[in-house]
Amino acid sequence: PIEDIQYLKVGPEGSHLYENEDYLPRAFFVTKREDVSTEAFLDLVETGRFMPTRKVYVTDSSEPEEALDVSELFIPVDTAKYAGEEVVINCDLPSMGYVVLSDLFYPGWKVTVNGEAAELMKVNGMSRAVRIKESGAHEIRFSYNPLWKRFAWITPVAAGMCLIIPF
């Protein structure tokens, strides 16, 4: 439960500034997955049974859950690049599993693994993840390219056309 989280007071006297010392890394690897309904996920969180360091909780995915015959692992992974529209993770993983990026899932994000398109999964209620299908070295690239950006050129072209073509 939330009450169990320990915070360190870091602000000056009279302030209410605390540091959460029990945070998840920005990116990490886990080997287990559980498909759950949104209601079941919320129940896990409310009852203190939500364990993001043990597995990913998936509420909607086109990829069916596959039982991985691997031991339970949790490994923090480093981001090689972290920018507003691109996150790159280079990692050497010991088995199949899931790389989770602790950022918010939002439409317009895409992911590739070693240059190949992969399914971007919404996990743990709000984060982004990708399934890693084999052990070894991987370059995982999350990139943001929303639909509106692809059609942004239409407005200036239409405005230019209005200036050129008399009414």
**Chain segment 104-158, per-residue pLDDT in tens:** 999 999 999 999 999 999 999 999 999 999 999 999 999 998 765 555 566 676 6
pLDDT digits (tens, 9 = 90+) for 24-83: 899 999 999 999 999 999 999 999 899 999 999 998 766 666 666 678 899 999 999 999
- Residues 80 and 144: their CA atoms lie apart, in Å, by 17
Q: What are the start-end ranges of the H helices in 50-136? A: none
10 Å Cβ neighbour count for 140? 23
- Residues 37 and 112: their CA atoms lie apart, in Å, by 26
pLDDT digits (tens, 9 = 90+) for 100-117: 999 999 999 999 999 999
- Residues 20 and 102: their CA atoms lie apart, in Å, by 15
* pTM score above 0.85: no
C-alpha separations of 102 from 141, 147, 163 in Å: 14, 23, 47
Give phi and psi for 29, each to the nearest 5: -120, 135
